[in-house]
Structure 1
Amino acid sequence: MTEPTNNLFDLTDKVALITGSSRGIGLAMASGLAQSGAKVVLCGRKQEGIDEAVKTIRDHGGEATGIPAHMGRAEDLQALVDHAVETFGGIDILVNNAATNPVFGPLLDNDDAAFDKIMEVNVKGPLNLAKLVHPIMVSRGGGSIINVSSIGGLRPEPMLGLYSMSKAALISLTKVMAAEWGGDSVRVNVLCPGLIQTQFSQALWSNEKILNSVVGKLPLKRIAQPEELVGMTVYLASAASSYCTGSVMTVDGGHTI
């Protein structure tokens, strides 16, 4: 018998770990998962920002905790996973949202340091964290991993070559993990947002020329707010997407049509 629709998105008793979740897209995702019943574990670079985000979720009735973590440090990732298990008993959902982009310009102007930093945080970090979380999910009967890429991973964005490359690699990594871990009941999917109005992307949407150029090409004629990724996140985290793995989901206002 088909499960009632109102139960498909219920995340009660699930534990979700969301990286880069002290603000912007990550905080919106964490808040949405908490509102759907999940206990959420937040992480970011600074404790102050994490504490504010945790308070925001708790003030709205959600269960949340969080600690600082750098995606490029193995010891930070292990501490983050240990904190989630010690606080809430396990991990059922992982959202790899943390990312960096220290450069804006043509490839000829990029150096090895920028390349290494981008790959460390945007690709190596999500892989290493997923590897730590995988056995925990298996012990709990399975789980859902959601990697956050970008439309730049599908089609290179001007002046964002290294970032686009790293996000393309994350899409490929998602498919590899989905293929290898499906037998363990661990589903892995990837979200590709378009331009979202966050501090991370401020250099783009605060530039009137760039903003008008982007909006002019969008069927919806506007950029998105962080909360507009919540629905897809809850879908991929929940039983509603139980037969969905290796999928590449765009949330881009029609940018990639």
Structure 2
Amino acid sequence: MDLPSFGLEGKKAIITGAGRGIGRALAIGFSKAGAEVILCSRTRSELEHVRNEIENNGGRASIFTLDVTDTSAIQQTVHDIYEDHGSIDVLVNNAGMNIRSKASDVTEDEWVKIMDTNVKSAFMMSQSVGARMQEQNKGGSILSVSSVAGHVALKTGVVYAASKAAMIQMTKVLAFEWGNSNIRVNSIGPWYFETPLTKELLEDEHYLSQILAVTPLKRVGQVEELVGPALFLSSDAASYVTGQTLFVDGGMTINGF
């Protein structure tokens, strides 16, 4: 028998939050795996840098500026993407944010901002793209970037943790509902990776020592190390995998924190 394909040759992939950090790494990695990448975020200048990197390496990428907290903008952008590209094979819900407030200090505005950015955006993107995938009648793959914070209790803030737990459960339900259309829905759950979002925290030696103490591999991750797991779940190599969350955590969820 032939080996399954871990590549994305000929596939078109939308990635939200693609201008930096994890999203940038996934966009470049997916391009190297053969995908035509559609880059989405609010900051066009960041997307242009990523597109240039991809095109300089012989890949193909396009840009759509998008505020993922705006449902009408999501619907219009997805419409425009399909008008331009004809079909979509992969969606990666990567856009996210955090405000590190103690539970007793969380404001309603903080709750709404985190939930809208992390959960509502992923659902609305999935709903809009999923409907198009059903119309295409050729299946597809939806991948969300959750977190170990959605699985174990962390010092990351209760709202962030709740949002990531919601993403994990949303992954299961969408996989269940859309399986008969051959739309696979999965997520990855990173631990600490070096990104603009974590830079300041990782510069705190005491906090870093706490992280490493519960990480069997004794280091934080590099964003490029998320490409392989994300690529696997998005590719035909995972054609019988759906509703799952793959924790990419250096073994952290073995221990808790």
Same fold per TM (> 0.5)? yes
1:200-254 Cα offsets, whole Å, 9 max, x none, are: 1123212111111101221101000100000011101111000000011000000
1:181 is paired with a residue whose SS is helix
2:8 is paired with a residue whose SS is coil
- 1:110 is aligned, of 96, 106, 113, to 106
Q: Which amino acid aligns with 2:18?
A: S
Q: Aligned-pair distance for 1:159?
A: 4.3
Q: Aligned-pair distance for 1:74?
A: 1.5
**Partner in structure 2 of residue 126 of structure 1:** 122
2:143 is paired with a residue whose SS is strand
1:148-199 Cα offsets, whole Å, 9 max, x none, are: 1000000121142110110001101111101101011000001000000000
Contact 1:39 1:88 in 2 (8 A): no
Q: Which amino acid aligns with 1:114?
A: E
Q: Aligned-pair distance for 1:14?
A: 0.7
**Partner in structure 1 of residue 19 of structure 2:** 22
1:64 is paired with a residue whose SS is strand
Distance 1:180 1:15 in 2: 23
Q: Which amino acid aligns with 1:152?
A: A
Check 1:226–1:159 CA distance in 2 against 1; reply closer, same or farther (3 A cut): closer
- 1:202 is aligned, of 199, 203, 221, to 199
Instruction: Please list, as runs of the form range in 1=range in 2, the aligned pairs for 1:36-115 lying within 5 A after superposition.
Output: 36-101=33-98, 103-115=99-111
Q: CA RMSD in A?
A: 1.2
TM-score, normalised via structure 1 length = 0.95
Contact 2:41 2:68 in 1 (8 A): no
Say whether 1:31 aligns with 2:32.
no
2:61 is paired with a residue whose SS is strand
Q: Which amino acid aligns with 2:6?
A: F
Contact 1:92 1:140 in 2 (8 A): no
Instruction: State, as a whole percentage, how many aligned pairs show the same letter.
Output: 38
Say whether 1:241 aligns with 2:233.
no
Distance 2:120 2:161 in 1: 15
Q: Which amino acid aligns with 2:125?
A: L
Instruction: Please list, as runs of the form range in 1=range in 2, the aligned pairs for 1:134-213 lying within 5 A after superposition.
Output: 134-138=130-134, 139-213=136-210
Check 1:156–1:203 CA distance in 2 against 1; reply closer, same or farther (3 A cut): farther
1:8 is paired with a residue whose SS is coil
1:17 is paired with a residue whose SS is strand
Contact 2:137 2:181 in 1 (8 A): no
Deviates more, 1:80-89 or 1:17-26: 80-89
Q: Aligned-pair distance for 1:53?
A: 0.8
Distance 1:34 1:78 in 2: 25
Distance 2:191 2:156 in 1: 16
**Partner in structure 2 of residue 255 of structure 1:** 252
Deviates more, 1:200-209 or 1:245-254: 200-209
Contact 1:98 1:122 in 2 (8 A): yes
2:252 is paired with a residue whose SS is coil
Distance 1:242 1:99 in 2: 27
Say whether 1:216 aligns with 2:213.
yes
Q: Which amino acid aligns with 1:209?
A: H
Check 1:159–1:134 CA distance in 2 against 1; reply closer, same or farther (3 A cut): closer
Structure 1 segments of 4 or more deviating over 3 A? none
